[in-house]
């Protein structure tokens, strides 16, 4: 019997996790559960605010030094159809503590009820609000997200460059959902995929775009991999597993960023499936993946003259 390609730390979870989690039926159930969870009062230390058109959750470091602080805009995942900001309260609080930064998570609108550009506009409103927040150093604001949130972070980097209101210092893209054309590749729907399959991908993109994915005319700020010009974007960190449906599109995006002159660190985790760090957070491979993200953000936001922003 051939050895499993799944990372040893993740094999037990891989036996029970589903291949995909998003579809017309499952989304209804998941959203009902989200509404119930979202009714809970915010935990101590979390401030719920309005940022233009959208609600955000603000996490502050427990012991902030004097002077303006760096900040991170965090965008949750969920295939553009599910998820909510409160799901990442624990990880956002951890980021705030470890970075000494203000971390703001945005509750953007989702498809299919609110197709592109609703989510992107919400995230841009939150970015402008965060950069203007008293006590935040607008020169040290990073944008970050996972899965669809990573795709939105990449799209927001493009939009921020073109709109010119805020210049992010860094973009952290955790197994980002970047390219609707991946839906046209049946060869990627491998049996080892977990939590995000080709079927889920088609449903997520169709819901977000309001049309069938994979065809000409999709805006680059909807699917960042469609962008012809990646120059002038902030330095980036991209992380993805080899068993993730998004592996190829993420690696290609990192290559194109470098080709365009953008400093980019690509971290590929052998044998890791989509969302592995959330599904198995205590595994050694998940902890190392998380530590790498924190280190990249720390280097960008708390850089010294000896360690310039974007150094990897």
What is the tens place of the pLDDT at every residue in 60-88? 999 766 789 999 999 999 999 999 999 99
- Number of domain units in the chain: 1
Entry field: residues in the chain:
312
Looking at residue 130, which CATH number applies to its domain?
3.40.50.1820
pTM: 0.93
Question: What does the angle CA 240 – CA 242 – CA 247 come to, to the nearest 5 degrees?
Answer: 55
pLDDT in tens, 115-155: 999 999 999 999 999 999 999 999 999 999 999 999 999 99
Please return the burial class of 55, using the count of CB atoms within 10 Å of its CB with bins 0-12, 13-18 and 19+. middle
Q: Does 58 fall in a domain?
A: yes
Which pLDDT belongs to residue 38? 66
Residue 310 lies in a domain: no
Query: pLDDT of 251-305, one tens digit each?
Result: 999 999 999 999 999 999 999 999 999 999 999 999 999 999 999 999 999 975 4
308 inside domain = no
Give the integer Cα–Cα distance in Å for 201 and 183: 6
Residue 30, domain member (yes or no): yes
Query: Which tokens is 183 given?
Result: 């839906």
Structural domain including 132 reads 8-301
Q: Is the pLDDT of residue 233 over 80?
A: yes
E strand map for 147-221? 170-174
pLDDT at 312: 35
Q: What is the pLDDT of residue 23?
A: 72
Report the percentage of the chain scoring pLDDT > 70: 93
Neighbouring CB atoms inside 10 A of 58's CB total: 20
Q: Which residues are part of the catalytic machinery?
A: 147, 244, 274
């Amino acid at each position: 019997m051939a050895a499993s390609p799944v990372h040893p730390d993740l094999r037990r979870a891989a036996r029970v996790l589903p291949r995909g989690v998003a579809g017309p039926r499952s989304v209804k159930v998941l959203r009902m559960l989200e509404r119930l969870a979202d009714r809970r009062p915010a935990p101590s230390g979390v401030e719920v605010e309005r940022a233009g058109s959208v609600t955000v959750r603000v996490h502050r470091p427990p012991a902030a030094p004097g002077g303006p602080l760096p900040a991170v805009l965090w965008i949750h995942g969920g295939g553009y159809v599910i998820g909510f900001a409160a799901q990442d309260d624990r990880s956002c609080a951890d980021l705030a503590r470890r970075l000494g930064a203000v971390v703001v998570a945005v509750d953007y609108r989702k498809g299919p009820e609110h197709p592109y550009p609703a989510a992107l506009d919400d995230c841009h409103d939150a970015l402008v609000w965060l950069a203007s927040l008293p006590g935040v150093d607008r020169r040290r604001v990073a944008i970050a997200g996972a899965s669809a949130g990573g795709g939105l972070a990449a799209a927001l980097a493009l939009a921020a460059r073109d709109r010119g209101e805020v210049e992010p210092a860094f973009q952290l893209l955790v197994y980002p959902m970047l390219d609707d054309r991946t839906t046209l590749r049946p060869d990627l729907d491998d049996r080892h995929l977990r939590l995000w399959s080709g079927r889920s991908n088609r449903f997520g993109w169709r819901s977000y775009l309001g049309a069938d994915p994979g065809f000409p005319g999709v805006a680059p700020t909807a699917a960042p991999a469609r962008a012809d010009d990646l120059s002038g974007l902030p330095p980036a960190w991209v992380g993805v597993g080899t068993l993730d449906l998004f592996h190829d599109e993420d690696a290609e995006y990192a290559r194109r960023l470098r080709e365009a002159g953008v400093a980019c660190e690509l971290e590929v985790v052998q044998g890791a499936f989509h969302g592995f760090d959330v599904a198995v957070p205590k595994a050694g491979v998940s902890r190392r993946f998380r530590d790498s993200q924190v280190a990249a953000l720390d280097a960008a936001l708390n850089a010294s003259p000896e360690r310039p922003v974007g150094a990897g």
